Amino acid sequence: MGMLFWFVIAYWVVSVLIGLWAGSKVHNTRDFAIAGRHLPFYMVVATVFATWFGSEAVLGIPATFLDEGIGGIIADPFGASLCLILFGLFLAGPLYKMNLLTIGDFYKKRYGRTAEIMTTLAIVVSYLGWVGAQITALGLVFNIVSDGHISQFWGMWIGSITILIYTFFGGMWAIAITDLLQMVIIVVGMLIIGGEIAGQIGGVGVVVDSAVAAGKFDNFWPEANMIGIIGFMAALFTMMFGSMPQQDVFQRAQSARTLQYAKWGSVLGGSLYFVFAFVPVFLAYSATMIDPKMVAGFMTEEGDPQMILPTLILNHSPLLIQILFFGALLSAIKSCASATLLAPSVTFTENILRPLRPEMTDKKVLLSMRSVTVIFTLLVTLYAINSDASIFEMVENAYQVTLVSAFIPLVFGVFWRKATNQGALAAIFLGLLVWISSIFFAGEDAVLPPQLAGLLASFVGMIVGSLMPQFVKRSVNSFDDLNSGKLAEIIPTEEDPYVAK
């Protein structure tokens, strides 16, 4: 194992130690879950950006772009960045004013205990794919930098356990502080690497012109037919709307020191994510010009397109650039993985376990949150080890369950006063039922993708479930009043001088 490996290990150890030091700031569940609501603006921006700039941004998106062009990455980064921007503009403010600990608390306060349980379970399950993608990428990185001495299997376990250590002790404080460091490394590293690679092939313009000539930007907008438009909407909505009712997005807004920090931190963090997500795309396409034979080998059915960018850096850049790249990649993975380990653990403890044991003190709740974090880490590592989906597919599929169950109740609960408990439960139940049924009975051949069918069903459930009981009640009351003669005084008669003759 060479110098690259030891530099990577040194960086890994330092970042873990920083996370452990941040644990000294955690004194209660509020510190652990939302950093005591003390984060300044620059840290809110950093933790939003770093959390979303994960393995899919560095490995998954570029590989998908090379295979499918820009039309293949509608969900991420377009849908993902729009999610953060729209959340900041429209939802961060109202949710921040409610002073909640978890997103599950919103559903409890607005719709009751049953809705809280159902949405919380859906949110927790959705994190399996996202965290699994980060753990998979960690195994890949350790395997590469160790020249194969560390298998991908053991790389996954090493990565997940070390991230668990500082997340366990430091919670949201550890994540926020390490995210700030990791954002700097990602931004600086990616810019320097981009300059180095661009210099090898004549500049950025040469790469862009080649991609345009190859038709990589021709398929952004869908074909002018129903199937194309529906497919475009399904890809965009899955990330844009499905990732809004998520604890990690909510957590970053709630951790801000002020309401304005919560709103604009999410907007700026999402905007930065969109811009920098295209740097790895640029690097990956550059590989087709620098080493087309290598790219062609990885683009076959037997190959792994996610290996194109790491291989390019290892074979065609000096040691300093390699250190910067893998440091930035590890930063991206760590920030995303730690955040997505904490979020479901906090939500499950606060909204599922705590109501079952209301006598628990805050100290015991904090211990429970840490214990659930350990259990979730073990489960998600096993899931990643046994999954054969790509990193991009894991992330994209993760949000379908929250799209069809939690998004409509969240938005209608904030903006529609007539939304009721019955409407929310109908939205959750119908969304999940139609989504699952579409997957099993229609599958990939369905004209309407399962997640879009579930979203429409959830919308119908909310409207009908909220308005129908009120309509029936008014109708029954009016019928009873009519039979009892209470309406006689407002029914016009022939003697009424105001009746038209």
The CA-atom distances, in angstroms, between 191 and each of 48, 53, 195, 287, 321 are: 19, 15, 6, 17, 11
CA distance 245 to 344: 12
CA distance 486 to 262: 53
pLDDT at position 140: 87
The residue whose two tokens read 């990885």 is 298
CA atoms within 13 A on the CB side of 88: 23
152-201 and 308-316 are packed helices; what angle lies between their axes, rounded to 10 degrees? 60
pLDDT at position 443: 64
CA distance 145 to 32: 33
Nearest to 16 by CA among 337, 234, 291: 337
- Phi then psi for 39, rounded to 5 degrees? -75, 130
pLDDT at position 499: 38
pLDDT at position 482: 55
pLDDT at position 389: 67
pLDDT at position 491: 44
CA angle 88, 91, 97 (to 5 degrees): 105
pLDDT below 50 — which residues of the chain? 487-501
CA distance 366 to 31: 10
pLDDT at position 468: 86
Residue 272: Cβ within 10 Å count: 22
- Phi then psi for 257, rounded to 5 degrees? -70, -35
Over the stretch 445-473, which tens digit does the pLDDT of each residue have? Answer: 677 899 999 999 999 999 999 998 777 76
For 59, the token pair is 């490995």
Nearest to 119 by CA among 319, 130, 200, 110: 110
pLDDT at position 444: 62
Whether 256 and 44 have beta carbons less than 8 Å apart is answered as yes
CA distance 188 to 491: 78
Whether 430 and 441 have beta carbons less than 8 Å apart is answered as no
Cα dihedral 93, 102, 132, 301 in deg (nearest 10): -40
Contacts with 321 (C-beta within 8 Å, 6 or more apart), sequence order: 192, 193, 196, 313
CA distance 435 to 442: 10
Cα dihedral across residues 487, 493, 499, 501: positive or negative: positive
Which DSSP letter does residue 410 get?
A: H
Supply the pTM of this predicted model: 0.88
For 144, the token pair is 């590469």
Whether 268 and 45 have beta carbons less than 8 Å apart is answered as yes
Cα dihedral 354, 343, 173, 4 in deg (nearest 10): 140
